[in-house]
Amino acid sequence: MTDVTFRAATASDAAALSAIYNFYVETSTVTFDLDSWSVDDMIHKIDSVEALGMPFIVAELDGDIVGYGYLSTWREKCAYETTMENTLYLREDSRGLGIGGRLLDELLERGQRAGVREVIAVIANTTDATPSISLHERNGFVRVGEMRNVGNKFDRWLGIVMLQKSLA
Ligand SMILES: CC(C)(COP(=O)(O)OP(=O)(O)OC[C@H]1O[C@@H](n2cnc3c(N)ncnc32)[C@H](O)[C@@H]1OP(=O)(O)O)[C@@H](O)C(=O)NCCC(=O)NCCS
Protein backbone atom coordinates (compact mmCIF):
# COMPACT_ATOMS: atom_id res chain seq x y z
CA MET A 1 0.00 0.00 0.00
CA THR A 2 2.81 2.42 0.84
CA ASP A 3 3.93 2.17 -2.78
CA VAL A 4 0.91 4.03 -4.19
CA THR A 5 2.00 6.92 -6.38
CA PHE A 6 0.06 9.51 -8.31
CA ARG A 7 0.71 11.19 -11.64
CA ALA A 8 -1.19 13.04 -14.35
CA ALA A 9 -3.14 10.79 -16.72
CA THR A 10 -2.14 10.58 -20.38
CA ALA A 11 -3.92 9.24 -23.45
CA SER A 12 -1.91 6.02 -23.17
CA ASP A 13 -3.65 5.29 -19.84
CA ALA A 14 -7.11 5.45 -21.40
CA ALA A 15 -7.49 1.71 -22.10
CA ALA A 16 -6.71 0.82 -18.47
CA LEU A 17 -8.96 3.59 -17.15
CA SER A 18 -11.92 2.67 -19.34
CA ALA A 19 -11.58 -0.98 -18.23
CA ILE A 20 -11.73 0.16 -14.57
CA TYR A 21 -14.76 2.36 -15.23
CA ASN A 22 -16.68 -0.07 -17.45
CA PHE A 23 -16.71 -2.69 -14.69
CA TYR A 24 -18.90 -0.29 -12.67
CA VAL A 25 -20.99 0.78 -15.69
CA GLU A 26 -21.89 -2.86 -16.27
CA THR A 27 -22.32 -4.11 -12.70
CA SER A 28 -23.13 -1.26 -10.36
CA THR A 29 -25.35 1.70 -9.62
CA VAL A 30 -22.38 3.86 -8.51
CA THR A 31 -22.46 5.37 -12.00
CA PHE A 32 -25.64 6.25 -13.89
CA ASP A 33 -23.92 5.57 -17.22
CA LEU A 34 -25.69 2.70 -18.98
CA ASP A 35 -23.23 2.21 -21.84
CA SER A 36 -19.55 1.37 -21.59
CA TRP A 37 -16.97 3.99 -22.55
CA SER A 38 -14.67 3.41 -25.48
CA VAL A 39 -10.97 4.19 -25.16
CA ASP A 40 -11.67 7.31 -27.26
CA ASP A 41 -14.36 8.42 -24.80
CA MET A 42 -11.77 8.24 -22.01
CA ILE A 43 -9.17 10.10 -24.09
CA HIS A 44 -11.76 12.81 -24.72
CA LYS A 45 -12.43 13.08 -20.96
CA ILE A 46 -8.70 13.30 -20.15
CA ASP A 47 -8.30 16.01 -22.80
CA SER A 48 -11.31 18.01 -21.63
CA VAL A 49 -10.17 17.96 -17.98
CA GLU A 50 -6.69 19.05 -19.05
CA ALA A 51 -8.18 21.85 -21.17
CA LEU A 52 -10.00 23.10 -18.07
CA GLY A 53 -6.70 23.24 -16.19
CA MET A 54 -7.96 20.66 -13.71
CA PRO A 55 -6.24 17.52 -12.37
CA PHE A 56 -6.89 14.09 -13.88
CA ILE A 57 -4.66 11.69 -11.97
CA VAL A 58 -3.96 8.00 -11.94
CA ALA A 59 -2.97 5.94 -8.90
CA GLU A 60 -0.28 3.33 -9.45
CA LEU A 61 0.67 0.49 -7.15
CA ASP A 62 4.00 -1.11 -8.02
CA GLY A 63 3.72 0.40 -11.51
CA ASP A 64 0.21 -0.94 -12.10
CA ILE A 65 -2.74 1.46 -12.61
CA VAL A 66 -5.21 0.77 -9.79
CA GLY A 67 -7.47 3.81 -9.99
CA TYR A 68 -8.06 7.34 -11.14
CA GLY A 69 -9.76 10.58 -10.21
CA TYR A 70 -10.48 13.92 -11.77
CA LEU A 71 -12.18 17.26 -11.26
CA SER A 72 -14.56 18.47 -13.93
CA THR A 73 -17.14 21.16 -14.57
CA TRP A 74 -19.98 21.20 -12.05
CA ARG A 75 -22.22 23.55 -14.05
CA GLU A 76 -21.46 25.18 -17.38
CA LYS A 77 -22.35 28.79 -16.52
CA CYS A 78 -19.25 30.94 -15.97
CA ALA A 79 -19.95 32.01 -12.39
CA TYR A 80 -19.52 28.37 -11.33
CA GLU A 81 -15.94 28.23 -12.62
CA THR A 82 -14.24 27.73 -9.22
CA THR A 83 -16.63 24.90 -8.29
CA MET A 84 -15.80 21.41 -9.59
CA GLU A 85 -17.33 17.95 -9.35
CA ASN A 86 -15.01 15.13 -8.31
CA THR A 87 -14.89 11.60 -9.70
CA LEU A 88 -12.95 8.63 -8.25
CA TYR A 89 -12.75 5.00 -9.38
CA LEU A 90 -10.56 2.18 -8.14
CA ARG A 91 -10.01 -1.12 -9.85
CA GLU A 92 -12.33 -3.59 -8.11
CA ASP A 93 -9.46 -5.65 -6.66
CA SER A 94 -7.82 -2.54 -5.21
CA ARG A 95 -10.74 -1.40 -3.05
CA GLY A 96 -10.74 -1.52 0.72
CA LEU A 97 -7.00 -0.82 1.05
CA GLY A 98 -7.30 2.89 1.82
CA ILE A 99 -6.15 3.94 -1.66
CA GLY A 100 -9.38 5.89 -2.25
CA GLY A 101 -8.68 8.24 0.66
CA ARG A 102 -5.17 8.98 -0.57
CA LEU A 103 -6.42 9.48 -4.12
CA LEU A 104 -9.07 11.93 -2.89
CA ASP A 105 -6.51 13.86 -0.78
CA GLU A 106 -4.15 14.12 -3.75
CA LEU A 107 -6.93 15.23 -6.10
CA LEU A 108 -8.14 17.93 -3.71
CA GLU A 109 -4.63 19.20 -3.09
CA ARG A 110 -4.00 19.53 -6.84
CA GLY A 111 -7.46 21.09 -7.28
CA GLN A 112 -6.74 23.68 -4.62
CA ARG A 113 -3.47 24.58 -6.36
CA ALA A 114 -5.48 24.98 -9.61
CA GLY A 115 -7.79 27.51 -7.91
CA VAL A 116 -10.76 25.34 -7.00
CA ARG A 117 -12.77 26.66 -4.05
CA GLU A 118 -15.72 24.26 -3.76
CA VAL A 119 -15.91 20.57 -4.64
CA ILE A 120 -19.18 18.73 -5.17
CA ALA A 121 -19.56 14.95 -5.01
CA VAL A 122 -22.72 13.64 -6.64
CA ILE A 123 -23.14 10.08 -5.37
CA ALA A 124 -25.82 7.47 -5.99
CA ASN A 125 -28.01 6.99 -2.94
CA THR A 126 -27.71 3.21 -3.16
CA THR A 127 -25.96 0.52 -1.16
CA ASP A 128 -23.39 0.15 -3.98
CA ALA A 129 -22.26 3.69 -3.23
CA THR A 130 -22.20 3.48 0.59
CA PRO A 131 -18.37 3.15 0.58
CA SER A 132 -18.09 6.30 -1.51
CA ILE A 133 -20.44 8.27 0.75
CA SER A 134 -18.51 7.22 3.87
CA LEU A 135 -15.17 7.97 2.23
CA HIS A 136 -16.28 11.51 1.37
CA GLU A 137 -17.79 12.12 4.80
CA ARG A 138 -14.57 10.93 6.46
CA ASN A 139 -12.67 13.37 4.25
CA GLY A 140 -14.79 16.32 5.47
CA PHE A 141 -17.45 16.50 2.76
CA VAL A 142 -20.84 17.54 4.15
CA ARG A 143 -24.21 16.45 2.81
CA VAL A 144 -25.95 19.38 1.18
CA GLY A 145 -28.70 17.77 -0.85
CA GLU A 146 -30.63 14.79 -2.00
CA MET A 147 -32.71 14.04 -5.08
CA ARG A 148 -35.02 11.10 -5.46
CA ASN A 149 -35.81 8.95 -8.48
CA VAL A 150 -33.68 10.95 -10.92
CA GLY A 151 -32.11 7.92 -12.63
CA ASN A 152 -33.21 4.51 -13.81
CA LYS A 153 -30.75 1.63 -13.99
CA PHE A 154 -31.23 -2.13 -13.77
CA ASP A 155 -35.01 -1.45 -13.73
CA ARG A 156 -34.83 0.58 -10.52
CA TRP A 157 -35.46 4.25 -9.86
CA LEU A 158 -32.41 5.73 -8.20
CA GLY A 159 -31.66 8.88 -6.26
CA ILE A 160 -28.50 10.79 -5.53
CA VAL A 161 -26.96 12.63 -2.60
CA MET A 162 -24.77 15.68 -3.00
CA LEU A 163 -21.85 16.38 -0.69
CA GLN A 164 -19.69 19.50 -0.67
CA LYS A 165 -16.26 20.40 0.63
CA SER A 166 -14.80 23.88 0.70
CA LEU A 167 -11.11 24.27 -0.16
CA ALA A 168 -11.26 28.07 0.14
C1 LIG B 1 -15.38 4.57 -3.18
C2 LIG B 1 -13.92 4.18 -3.30
C3 LIG B 1 -13.17 5.23 -4.13
C4 LIG B 1 -13.34 4.13 -1.88
O5 LIG B 1 -11.96 3.80 -1.94
P6 LIG B 1 -11.33 2.65 -1.01
O7 LIG B 1 -9.87 2.73 -1.12
O8 LIG B 1 -12.01 1.36 -1.30
O9 LIG B 1 -11.70 3.23 0.40
P10 LIG B 1 -11.43 2.59 1.79
O11 LIG B 1 -10.40 1.50 1.72
O12 LIG B 1 -11.17 3.73 2.71
O13 LIG B 1 -12.84 1.95 2.12
C14 LIG B 1 -13.98 2.78 2.14
C15 LIG B 1 -15.16 1.93 2.54
O16 LIG B 1 -15.45 0.99 1.47
C17 LIG B 1 -15.62 -0.32 2.00
N18 LIG B 1 -15.25 -1.25 0.92
C19 LIG B 1 -14.03 -1.46 0.48
N20 LIG B 1 -14.05 -2.35 -0.55
C21 LIG B 1 -15.32 -2.68 -0.76
C22 LIG B 1 -16.00 -3.52 -1.69
N23 LIG B 1 -15.35 -4.22 -2.62
N24 LIG B 1 -17.34 -3.58 -1.61
C25 LIG B 1 -18.01 -2.87 -0.69
N26 LIG B 1 -17.43 -2.06 0.22
C27 LIG B 1 -16.09 -1.96 0.17
C28 LIG B 1 -14.67 -0.34 3.18
O29 LIG B 1 -15.05 -1.34 4.09
C30 LIG B 1 -14.90 1.06 3.78
O31 LIG B 1 -16.10 1.08 4.54
P32 LIG B 1 -16.21 2.03 5.84
O33 LIG B 1 -16.10 3.45 5.33
O34 LIG B 1 -17.56 1.73 6.36
O35 LIG B 1 -15.05 1.65 6.71
C36 LIG B 1 -13.73 2.78 -3.96
O37 LIG B 1 -14.27 1.80 -3.12
C38 LIG B 1 -14.33 2.66 -5.32
O39 LIG B 1 -13.67 2.91 -6.31
N40 LIG B 1 -15.61 2.26 -5.39
C41 LIG B 1 -16.30 2.03 -6.64
C42 LIG B 1 -16.45 3.28 -7.46
C43 LIG B 1 -17.15 4.39 -6.72
O44 LIG B 1 -18.08 4.20 -5.96
N45 LIG B 1 -16.68 5.61 -7.02
C46 LIG B 1 -17.23 6.81 -6.47
C47 LIG B 1 -18.30 7.28 -7.41
S48 LIG B 1 -18.99 8.78 -6.72
pLDDT tens readout for residues 120-148: 999 999 999 999 999 999 999 999 999 99
Residues 152, 168: Cα–Cα separation, whole Å:
35
Among 82, 53, 74, 60, CA closest to 16: 60
* Among 6, 58, 103, 132, residue to substitute to test ligand 1 (most atoms within 8 Å of Cβ): 132
* Residue 123, beta-bridge partner list: 161
Quote the pTM value. 0.95
Rounded to the nearest whole angstrom, what is the distance from the C-alpha of residue 85 to the centroid of ligand 1?
A: 18
* % of the chain with per-residue pLDDT over 70: 99
Ligand 1 binding site (Cβ under 6 Å of any ligand atom): 24, 30, 88-90, 95-101, 121, 123, 129, 131-132, 134-135
pLDDT tens readout for residues 1-56: 558 999 999 999 999 999 999 999 999 999 999 999 999 999 999 999 999 999 99
Which residue range(s) make up the domain with 135? Answer: 4-166
CATH of the domain at 61: 3.40.630.30
Number of structural domains (the chain) is 1
